[in-house]
Structure 1
Protein backbone atom coordinates (compact mmCIF):
# COMPACT_ATOMS: atom_id res chain seq x y z
CA UNK A 1 0.00 0.00 0.00
CA UNK A 2 2.83 2.37 0.89
CA UNK A 3 4.60 1.49 -2.37
CA UNK A 4 1.49 2.34 -4.36
CA UNK A 5 1.09 5.68 -2.59
CA UNK A 6 4.78 6.43 -3.17
CA UNK A 7 4.40 5.48 -6.85
CA UNK A 8 1.39 7.76 -7.15
CA UNK A 9 3.32 10.62 -5.56
CA UNK A 10 6.27 10.02 -7.88
CA UNK A 11 3.93 9.95 -10.85
CA UNK A 12 2.24 13.17 -9.75
CA UNK A 13 5.64 14.78 -9.21
CA UNK A 14 6.83 13.61 -12.64
CA UNK A 15 3.63 14.88 -14.22
CA UNK A 16 4.13 18.22 -12.49
CA UNK A 17 7.67 18.41 -13.82
CA UNK A 18 6.42 17.64 -17.32
CA UNK A 19 3.80 20.35 -17.08
CA UNK A 20 6.47 22.78 -15.94
CA UNK A 21 8.69 21.82 -18.86
CA UNK A 22 5.82 22.15 -21.33
CA UNK A 23 4.84 25.52 -19.91
CA UNK A 24 8.41 26.66 -20.11
CA UNK A 25 8.52 25.60 -23.72
CA UNK A 26 5.28 27.44 -24.39
CA UNK A 27 6.68 30.59 -22.78
CA UNK A 28 9.85 30.29 -24.86
CA UNK A 29 7.73 30.00 -27.96
CA UNK A 30 5.80 33.11 -26.96
CA UNK A 31 9.12 34.91 -26.48
CA UNK A 32 10.32 33.65 -29.86
CA UNK A 33 7.14 34.95 -31.46
CA UNK A 34 7.76 38.33 -29.82
CA UNK A 35 11.27 38.30 -31.25
CA UNK A 36 9.82 37.35 -34.61
CA UNK A 37 7.51 40.37 -34.50
CA UNK A 38 10.43 42.64 -33.60
CA UNK A 39 12.56 41.09 -36.34
CA UNK A 40 9.68 41.44 -38.77
CA UNK A 41 9.40 45.13 -37.85
CA UNK A 42 13.13 45.55 -38.43
CA UNK A 43 12.85 43.74 -41.77
CA UNK A 44 9.98 46.05 -42.74
CA UNK A 45 12.11 49.05 -41.78
CA UNK A 46 14.89 47.87 -44.07
CA UNK A 47 12.39 47.03 -46.79
CA UNK A 48 11.00 50.58 -46.61
CA UNK A 49 14.54 51.97 -46.65
CA UNK A 50 15.28 49.79 -49.69
CA UNK A 51 12.22 51.12 -51.50
CA UNK A 52 13.19 54.71 -50.69
CA UNK A 53 16.74 54.23 -51.88
CA UNK A 54 15.60 52.35 -54.97
CA UNK A 55 13.27 55.24 -55.81
CA UNK A 56 16.16 57.69 -55.37
CA UNK A 57 18.23 55.45 -57.60
CA UNK A 58 15.59 55.51 -60.33
CA UNK A 59 15.20 59.29 -60.02
CA UNK A 60 18.90 59.92 -60.43
CA UNK A 61 19.18 57.71 -63.49
CA UNK A 62 22.29 55.80 -64.42
CA UNK A 63 24.84 58.51 -63.59
CA UNK A 64 27.56 58.40 -60.96
CA UNK A 65 25.06 59.27 -58.22
CA UNK A 66 23.31 55.95 -58.67
CA UNK A 67 26.46 54.07 -57.77
CA UNK A 68 26.61 56.07 -54.57
CA UNK A 69 23.01 55.15 -53.87
CA UNK A 70 23.77 51.49 -54.45
CA UNK A 71 26.64 51.71 -52.01
CA UNK A 72 24.42 53.51 -49.47
CA UNK A 73 21.72 50.88 -49.84
CA UNK A 74 24.17 48.04 -49.49
CA UNK A 75 25.71 49.65 -46.42
CA UNK A 76 22.29 50.22 -44.80
CA UNK A 77 21.18 46.65 -45.45
CA UNK A 78 24.43 44.97 -44.45
CA UNK A 79 23.81 44.55 -40.68
CA UNK A 80 20.47 42.80 -41.03
CA UNK A 81 21.57 40.68 -43.97
CA UNK A 82 24.71 39.53 -42.18
CA UNK A 83 22.61 38.36 -39.23
CA UNK A 84 19.82 36.75 -41.20
CA UNK A 85 21.88 35.22 -43.97
CA UNK A 86 25.06 34.42 -42.02
CA UNK A 87 26.09 31.60 -44.36
CA UNK A 88 26.33 34.05 -47.27
CA UNK A 89 27.43 37.11 -45.30
CA UNK A 90 30.34 37.92 -47.59
CA UNK A 91 28.12 38.07 -50.65
CA UNK A 92 25.19 39.92 -49.03
CA UNK A 93 26.18 43.36 -50.26
CA UNK A 94 28.06 42.53 -53.44
CA UNK A 95 25.37 44.02 -55.68
CA UNK A 96 22.12 45.89 -55.50
CA UNK A 97 20.28 42.87 -56.90
CA UNK A 98 21.81 40.62 -54.24
CA UNK A 99 20.75 43.02 -51.48
CA UNK A 100 17.21 43.18 -52.84
CA UNK A 101 16.93 39.40 -53.06
CA UNK A 102 18.25 38.92 -49.53
CA UNK A 103 15.92 41.57 -48.09
CA UNK A 104 12.92 40.04 -49.83
CA UNK A 105 13.68 36.65 -48.31
CA UNK A 106 14.37 38.08 -44.82
CA UNK A 107 10.90 37.57 -43.25
CA UNK A 108 10.79 33.92 -44.29
CA UNK A 109 14.34 33.36 -43.09
CA UNK A 110 13.56 35.01 -39.72
CA UNK A 111 10.57 32.71 -39.18
CA UNK A 112 12.75 29.70 -40.00
CA UNK A 113 15.49 30.83 -37.57
CA UNK A 114 12.96 31.34 -34.76
CA UNK A 115 11.31 27.98 -35.36
CA UNK A 116 14.69 26.22 -35.42
CA UNK A 117 15.75 27.93 -32.18
CA UNK A 118 12.51 27.09 -30.40
CA UNK A 119 12.74 23.50 -31.65
CA UNK A 120 16.28 23.12 -30.34
CA UNK A 121 15.32 24.51 -26.93
CA UNK A 122 12.21 22.33 -26.69
CA UNK A 123 14.11 19.26 -27.84
CA UNK A 124 16.84 19.83 -25.28
CA UNK A 125 14.28 20.24 -22.50
CA UNK A 126 12.37 17.10 -23.48
CA UNK A 127 15.59 15.11 -23.79
CA UNK A 128 16.61 16.14 -20.26
CA UNK A 129 13.19 15.15 -18.93
CA UNK A 130 13.37 11.80 -20.74
CA UNK A 131 16.87 11.19 -19.35
CA UNK A 132 15.59 11.80 -15.81
CA UNK A 133 12.39 9.80 -16.28
CA UNK A 134 13.13 7.19 -18.99
CA UNK A 135 9.81 5.36 -18.59
CA UNK A 136 7.77 8.53 -18.90
CA UNK A 137 5.52 8.83 -21.96
CA UNK A 138 6.05 12.34 -23.36
CA UNK A 139 3.41 12.04 -26.10
CA UNK A 140 0.61 13.75 -24.09
CA UNK A 141 2.69 16.94 -24.01
CA UNK A 142 1.82 17.56 -27.65
CA UNK A 143 -1.87 17.94 -26.68
CA UNK A 144 -1.22 21.05 -24.59
CA UNK A 145 -2.14 21.79 -21.01
CA UNK A 146 -4.00 19.26 -18.93
CA UNK A 147 -7.75 19.50 -19.27
CA UNK A 148 -9.17 22.07 -16.87
CA UNK A 149 -6.00 24.18 -16.64
CA UNK A 150 -7.10 27.80 -16.49
CA UNK A 151 -5.23 30.69 -18.07
CA UNK A 152 -4.37 31.95 -14.60
CA UNK A 153 -2.98 28.57 -13.57
CA UNK A 154 -1.01 28.36 -16.81
CA UNK A 155 0.55 31.77 -16.14
CA UNK A 156 1.33 30.73 -12.56
CA UNK A 157 3.04 27.60 -13.83
CA UNK A 158 5.00 29.63 -16.36
CA UNK A 159 6.20 31.93 -13.61
CA UNK A 160 7.32 28.94 -11.55
CA UNK A 161 9.50 27.51 -14.32
CA UNK A 162 10.80 30.72 -15.87
CA UNK A 163 14.24 30.51 -14.28
CA UNK A 164 14.69 26.90 -15.31
CA UNK A 165 13.43 27.73 -18.80
CA UNK A 166 16.03 30.45 -19.21
CA UNK A 167 18.81 28.09 -18.15
CA UNK A 168 17.56 25.30 -20.44
CA UNK A 169 17.16 27.66 -23.40
CA UNK A 170 20.66 29.09 -23.01
CA UNK A 171 22.09 25.59 -22.62
CA UNK A 172 20.24 24.38 -25.70
CA UNK A 173 20.93 27.37 -27.93
CA UNK A 174 24.42 28.34 -26.76
CA UNK A 175 26.08 25.18 -25.40
CA UNK A 176 29.55 26.49 -26.23
CA UNK A 177 29.29 29.31 -23.68
CA UNK A 178 30.67 28.32 -20.30
CA UNK A 179 28.45 30.64 -18.22
CA UNK A 180 24.93 29.68 -19.28
CA UNK A 181 23.20 31.16 -16.26
Structure 2
Protein backbone atom coordinates (compact mmCIF):
# COMPACT_ATOMS: atom_id res chain seq x y z
CA UNK A 1 0.00 0.00 0.00
CA UNK A 2 2.81 2.41 0.92
CA UNK A 3 4.60 1.53 -2.33
CA UNK A 4 1.46 2.46 -4.29
CA UNK A 5 1.21 5.81 -2.51
CA UNK A 6 4.91 6.50 -3.15
CA UNK A 7 4.42 5.56 -6.79
CA UNK A 8 1.40 7.86 -7.08
CA UNK A 9 3.34 10.75 -5.51
CA UNK A 10 6.27 10.14 -7.85
CA UNK A 11 3.95 10.04 -10.86
CA UNK A 12 2.28 13.28 -9.78
CA UNK A 13 5.64 14.98 -9.34
CA UNK A 14 6.84 13.72 -12.73
CA UNK A 15 3.65 14.94 -14.43
CA UNK A 16 4.19 18.38 -12.91
CA UNK A 17 7.81 18.45 -14.04
CA UNK A 18 6.81 17.31 -17.53
CA UNK A 19 4.23 20.09 -17.74
CA UNK A 20 6.79 22.65 -16.57
CA UNK A 21 9.33 21.37 -19.10
CA UNK A 22 6.75 21.46 -21.88
CA UNK A 23 5.85 25.09 -21.15
CA UNK A 24 9.53 26.10 -21.04
CA UNK A 25 10.26 24.25 -24.30
CA UNK A 26 7.26 25.85 -26.02
CA UNK A 27 8.42 29.31 -24.92
CA UNK A 28 11.91 28.61 -26.25
CA UNK A 29 10.83 27.17 -29.59
CA UNK A 30 8.29 29.97 -30.09
CA UNK A 31 11.08 32.52 -29.61
CA UNK A 32 13.41 30.76 -32.06
CA UNK A 33 10.92 29.46 -34.60
CA UNK A 34 7.36 30.79 -34.26
CA UNK A 35 4.56 28.73 -35.76
CA UNK A 36 4.40 29.49 -39.48
CA UNK A 37 1.12 30.20 -41.21
CA UNK A 38 0.16 27.72 -43.89
CA UNK A 39 2.30 24.97 -42.39
CA UNK A 40 0.50 21.95 -41.04
CA UNK A 41 0.49 21.30 -37.31
CA UNK A 42 3.77 20.08 -35.85
CA UNK A 43 4.40 18.49 -32.49
CA UNK A 44 6.58 20.25 -29.96
CA UNK A 45 9.26 17.60 -30.51
CA UNK A 46 9.24 18.20 -34.29
CA UNK A 47 9.54 21.94 -33.75
CA UNK A 48 12.38 21.49 -31.25
CA UNK A 49 14.25 19.26 -33.70
CA UNK A 50 13.92 21.93 -36.39
CA UNK A 51 15.02 24.77 -34.07
CA UNK A 52 18.82 24.46 -34.60
CA UNK A 53 18.51 25.12 -38.33
CA UNK A 54 16.14 28.03 -37.61
CA UNK A 55 18.67 29.37 -35.09
CA UNK A 56 21.43 29.22 -37.71
CA UNK A 57 19.20 31.13 -40.13
CA UNK A 58 18.48 33.70 -37.44
CA UNK A 59 22.19 34.21 -36.79
CA UNK A 60 22.87 34.59 -40.50
CA UNK A 61 20.08 37.15 -40.97
CA UNK A 62 21.26 39.24 -38.01
CA UNK A 63 24.93 39.10 -39.06
CA UNK A 64 23.97 40.15 -42.59
CA UNK A 65 22.06 43.17 -41.32
CA UNK A 66 24.81 44.23 -38.89
CA UNK A 67 27.46 43.98 -41.61
CA UNK A 68 25.24 46.03 -43.92
CA UNK A 69 24.96 48.71 -41.21
CA UNK A 70 28.76 48.76 -40.84
CA UNK A 71 29.13 49.01 -44.63
CA UNK A 72 26.67 51.94 -44.68
CA UNK A 73 29.08 53.90 -42.48
CA UNK A 74 32.28 52.58 -44.05
CA UNK A 75 31.51 51.89 -47.75
CA UNK A 76 35.15 51.08 -48.50
CA UNK A 77 35.40 48.49 -45.74
CA UNK A 78 36.35 45.02 -46.96
CA UNK A 79 33.92 42.88 -45.02
CA UNK A 80 35.18 39.61 -46.52
CA UNK A 81 37.95 39.40 -43.92
CA UNK A 82 35.35 39.34 -41.14
CA UNK A 83 34.12 36.04 -42.58
CA UNK A 84 37.33 34.44 -41.31
CA UNK A 85 36.68 35.54 -37.73
CA UNK A 86 38.70 37.78 -35.46
CA UNK A 87 41.90 39.22 -36.94
CA UNK A 88 44.95 37.09 -36.14
CA UNK A 89 46.81 40.02 -34.60
CA UNK A 90 43.90 40.87 -32.27
CA UNK A 91 44.69 39.94 -28.68
CA UNK A 92 42.13 38.39 -26.36
CA UNK A 93 42.28 41.54 -24.25
CA UNK A 94 41.59 43.78 -27.24
CA UNK A 95 38.73 41.54 -28.37
CA UNK A 96 37.24 41.61 -24.88
CA UNK A 97 37.47 45.41 -24.95
CA UNK A 98 35.72 45.53 -28.35
CA UNK A 99 32.93 43.35 -26.99
CA UNK A 100 32.57 45.66 -24.00
CA UNK A 101 32.43 48.72 -26.26
CA UNK A 102 29.81 47.03 -28.44
CA UNK A 103 27.50 46.16 -25.54
CA UNK A 104 25.58 49.47 -25.32
CA UNK A 105 25.27 49.61 -29.10
CA UNK A 106 23.67 46.16 -29.26
CA UNK A 107 20.66 47.39 -27.30
CA UNK A 108 20.09 50.17 -29.81
CA UNK A 109 20.64 47.92 -32.82
CA UNK A 110 18.28 45.27 -31.51
CA UNK A 111 15.47 47.78 -32.04
CA UNK A 112 15.90 47.76 -35.83
CA UNK A 113 17.76 44.55 -36.65
CA UNK A 114 15.23 41.85 -37.46
CA UNK A 115 15.51 38.07 -37.19
CA UNK A 116 13.88 37.95 -40.61
CA UNK A 117 15.64 38.62 -43.90
CA UNK A 118 14.95 42.23 -44.98
Unmatched 5+ stretches in structure 2: 1-16
Q: Give TM-score, length-normalised by structure 1.
A: 0.41
CA contact 2:58–2:115 (8 Å) conserved in 1: no
- Return 5+ residue gaps in structure 1 as ranges: 1-47, 51-75, 93-97, 176-181
Q: Structure 2 length as normaliser, TM-score?
A: 0.59
Instruction: Confirm whether residue 107 of structure 1 aligns to residue 56 of structure 2.
Output: no
Q: Runs in 1 of length 4+ with deviation above 3 angstroms?
A: 88-92
Aligned-pair Cα RMSD in Å:
3.4
Deviation at 1:129, TM superposition (A): 1.5
Matched positions, count: 94
- Pick aligned residue for 2:82 from 141, 146, 150: 141
Contact 2:61 2:115 in 1 (8 A): no
Q: Radius of gyration: which is bigger?
A: 1
* Distance (Å, rounded) in 2 between the aligned partners of 1:122 and 1:90: 27
Equivalence for 1:127: 68
Identify the structure with the greater helix proportion.
Answer: 1
